Amino acid sequence: KAMCSGRLQTALLVAGYFVYLLVGAAVFQALERTAEKQEKMAAAQMKEAFLQNFTQLTVAEMEQFMKNLIEAIQNGVYPVGNESQFEESNWDFSNSFFFAGTVVSTIGYGTLHPKTAGGQIFCVFFALFGIPLNIVFLHRVGKMLSLLCKKLGKFLYEKGMRQKKIKFLTLLFFLATGILVFLCLPSVFFQITEGWSYSEGIYFAFITLSTIGFGDYVVGKQSDRKYFSYYRVLVAIWILFGLAWIALLFNL
């Protein structure tokens, strides 16, 4: 009964956690998408005006254009390519879910952030409740993984192995498995999908899972590459379970 109750609690926690992220993503999308569209239209108009009059611009007007361009890029608007690229939103569901995941995990790349007053206020409350929920989620997943450690240890003990050796081999096994599953294999995936070198993929994976999150490398941000649907959702899920693996290592 206790085992069934524990499994039910875990299932409810995992379900509740992902529902929280899904609801957060939907709200961020609703609050930010319209404002982003207006910003992209303004950037497109600015670019068009510049192309028509760039030979007649004064130094002051040129400097103002550069300031506006830098501000647009800082807000996630890249006025390059044709008009169809302006139709692609930074706040589609996949990107919004990815953003929600980076908020509760405290990674915060800084490349995508809410700009409306409503989005910023919602982000405060979403993080206020989401970060503790994320800690509880990681603790529970880490606990589940530690049960696997105990089972492995029990199996090795029955084979006549000493306790110290069992502890060392258990740690080594989960360290090696985690490095393979959460660092090495994803880096190959990033190399193919993003066009990065393998070392850049490893660097991104480590900086992300350690929650340093510089923001110099972020997935799904290159305008010249085609990404499959829900690519960033999969990356967000990888981040969440990767953080659980790191929590387990600290536990061990």
pLDDT in tens, 61-92: 888 888 988 888 777 777 776 655 556 788 99
| Nearest by Cα to 101 from 208, 178, 190 | 208
Residue 2 is predicted with a pLDDT of: 59
**Percentage of the chain modeled with pLDDT above 70:** 96
Paired tokens of 34: 């319209």
Q: State yes or no: pLDDT of 156 exceeds 60.
A: yes
Residue 81 is predicted with a pLDDT of: 66
Q: Using pLDDT thresholds of 50, 70 and 90, give the confidence band for residue 47.
A: confident
| Nearest by Cα to 144 from 5, 16, 18, 10 | 10
Torsion angle of alpha carbons 12, 16, 19, 23, nearest 10°?
160
| Nearest by Cα to 198 from 208, 189, 211, 209 | 189
pLDDT in tens, 110-127: 888 899 999 999 999 999
Question: Cα separation of 84 and 49, whole Å?
Answer: 18
pTM reported for the whole predicted model: 0.86
